[in-house]
Amino acid sequence: MPSDEELAAELGRGDDAALRALLHRYQRPLAHFIFRHTGGSEVEDIYQETWLRVSLHAANFDPEKRFSTWLFQIALNLCRDFHRRSRSAGELDAELRGTSSELDRCEAALEAGALLAQLPEAQREVLILRYYHDLSEEETGRVLDCPKGTVKSRMHNALARLAELARRAKS
Amino acid sequence: MKPGKPLEEAVTSNALQAHVSDCESCRKAELPLERLSSVLSSSTPSINPEAWSLRVLVRSRSILQERRAQSIRRRLPLALGISLVALPLVITYDFFLLERLYTVVSGLPLVLTFYLCASAATVLLLVGGAAYAGLALVLTGVGETLSARMREVQV
């Protein structure tokens, strides 16, 4: 069974069977990652754009690196673009503050998507990659292009914030 | 992440446990890990990426065709170059074979000798041409494309 990196190299030569195999391996993790990052908006568009970019740039892919890291970096950049496009940071904060009080009142809102949306983007990215995608701290750091220590501290802050939110929602 | 591993299987509290065991601040804070884990695991997105993947395949068809053409264009000069390196040797060997044949059949009537030598030369030319065409095809990646088709059938 060829590795992801071998398939990526074949994709770079225009092999659609390689693309099919990579899609088969990564369609679910990637779609779920985008869904959780964007909160369910424009998931299909970002998903398709990610794979089109993979097809376009596979010839430039460095086979010494891990394909999954490269794939998630592309998706992450597109998700960040989406967030930048859809709203400015100030509007987002205002919106989150507004929904925060609603969440406190509503037990039904104690749901992963709503809780994730309460986290700052940097913490949310770390939590999604570490928790939902089982990436190690090193791999998460490579995807996010930051040191392992930063991943650790963001994870700590994310957990502390989540615990606080969950406690408030429960009470 | 392991390739092909369904996300649902990957969703575990291992990442949380691993972090807390490594992070003193989190240990001191006594985070409600089980609760956090159950909350985070509570929702699985109801999406259908299989259908999206089919659309990706359709949309990327033209990109991949262009890639294949580029790949062949890049390799063709190299393939022809490698083929031409061996050409003088092949031609010399063919002349050697024809000469041996002429030595054997030269005692026959002239027309028959000419017919046998011309036939042999034609066969050698065809075999040599086919071998060179095959070599060029393999070197330009057509062989890889065929093996990729085989893999596609297996998938």
pLDDT classification of B5: cutoffs 50, 70, 90 = very low
**To the nearest whole percent, how much of chain A has pLDDT over 90?**
40
Torsion, Cα A34 A37 A39 A40, to 10 degrees, reads 0
Indicate yes or no: CB of A68 within 8 angstroms of CB of B1.
Answer: yes
Contact assignment for B10 to A132 by CB distance below 8 Å: yes
Q: How far is B116 from chain A (nearest CA, A)?
A: 47
Interface test with A, best of B60, B65, B152 (most A CBs within 10 A): B60
List Cβ neighbours of B127 (8 Å cut-off, separation of 6 or more).
none
What confidence score (pLDDT) does residue B149 get? 60
**A87 pLDDT more than 80:** no
Question: Tell me, what's the pLDDT at B6?
Answer: 38
pLDDT winner (highest mean) among A16-25, B66-75, B77-86: A16-25
> Using 50, 70 and 90 to split pLDDT, how confident is the model at A111?
low
pLDDT value for B96: 92
Distance from CA of B105 to the nearest CA of A (A): 52
* A107, pLDDT greater than 80: no
Q: What is the pTM of this model?
A: 0.67
Q: Whole-angstrom Cα distance, residue A3 to residue A1?
A: 7
